[in-house]
Amino acid sequence: MAIERIGVVGAGQMGNGIAHVCAVAGYEVLLNDIDQNAIDKAMATIGKNLDRQVSREVITEAQKAEAMARIGTTQTLTDLGPTDLVIEAATERETVKQAIFEDLLPHLTPDTILTSNTSSISITRLASRTDRPEKFMGFHFMNPVPVMQLVELIRGIATDKDTFDACYGVVERLGKTAATAEDFPAFIVNRILMPMINEAVYALYEGVGSVQSIDTSLKLGANHPMGPLELADFIGLDTCLAIMNVLHDGLADTKYRPCPLLTKYVEAGWLGRKTERGFYDYRGETPVPTR
């Protein structure tokens, strides 16, 4: 399967990063979002991130211009029909993802591969709602996409070898490393990472330590580049909660029960960096712990 044209659904943090790396690797990219403001913001972010790569001599000014020229945008989802590979990077809600694939299906070529950047939802279940479960798989990038080297490739129960090989080839062309995961809730990275974050929230909830002491302990005691609560804010507390709920529901084990304090922060709308408040308050010059 020759892949040259890639459609990206969703121009948010993940979608713009995926469009960025695909364009730099020489793919023709069509970036879709229902919100023109989100598209405009995404293109500005891509330009800024490419400038950063130019300043670090990762790419040249000419390569930046070529990459930007390869990215087209559209508010019309069905425009992605003629692409060879679709990477869905919309909100982490299964009903939203299902609706996107249902709208796309009548407009796709017979050979178009469908993938989802979901961090936790069943690939087999998403695939079963399409007309091509054998040409469907999980394509999970890490955030921030231009920096992080890993991509999790997740086969659904029906995914065929040609589809897997084609997606593996894309990861190689992007200059990233593929890790193959089985289709179980949250796959590999989030199956291990999210319970650690959830446990850090429990440690805060139970008064074992403050925000500052918990993050400092993991940074200096486990040599993590970022503390777990700082990382949760970076990911988005709503996303963390959604993944914990998928783990709890999918594996039926109480060890994955989301911490009530995590739920409370999400209910308050304190979702982390994107809302300027989470476990830290980002509205001043430097982040200040909120507990």
- Residue 255 labelled as part of a binding site: no
* 169 among annotated binding-site residues: no
**Residues 6+ positions from 63 with CB-CB distance below 8 Å:** 24
Q: Is 92 annotated as a binding residue?
A: yes
The answer to whether the annotation marks 15 as part of a ligand binding site is yes
Verify whether residue 224 is a known catalytic residue. Answer: no
SS3 assignment for the chain: CCCCEEEEECCCHHHHHHHHHHHHCCCEEEEECCCHHHHHHHHHHHHHHHHHHHHCCCCCHHHHHHHHHHEEEECCHHHHCCCCEEEECCCCCHHHHHHHHHHHHHHCCCCCEEEECCCCCCHHHHHHCCCCHHHEEEEEECCCCCCCCEEEEEECCCCCHHHHHHHHHHHHHCCCEEEEECCCCCCCHHHHHHHHHHHHHHHHHCCCCCHHHHHHHHHHHCCCCCCHHHHHHHHCHHHHHHHHHHHHHHHCCHHHCCCHHHHHHHHHCCCEHHHCECCEECCCCCCEECC
User: Binding residue per annotation — 10?
Assistant: yes
Amino acid at 202: Y
Residue with tokens 């199956």: 191
Annotated catalytic residue 140: yes
Q: Please tell me which residue in 49, 120, 190, 198 is annotated as part of the active site.
A: 190
Nearest C-alpha neighbor of 22 from the set 83, 79, 101:
83
CB distance 266 to 235 below 8 Å: no
Ligand-binding annotation for 13, yes or no, is: yes
> Which of 20, 94, 117, 140 is an active site residue?
140
In the structure encoding, which two tokens stand for residue 94, read together? 């299964």
Catalytic residue among 32, 119, 120, 198: 119
**How many CA within 13 A on the CB side of residue 159?**
30
- The verdict on whether 117 is a catalytic residue reads no
Catalytic residue, from 88, 94, 152, 230: name it: 152
Q: Is 12 annotated as a binding residue?
A: yes
152 given a catalytic annotation: yes
Confirm or deny that 14 is annotated as ligand binding.
yes
Binding site for NAD(+), residues? Answer: 10-15, 33, 92, 97, 119, 143, 274
Show which residues are catalytic: 119, 140, 152, 190
Q: Output the known binding site.
A: 10-15, 33, 92, 97, 119, 143, 274
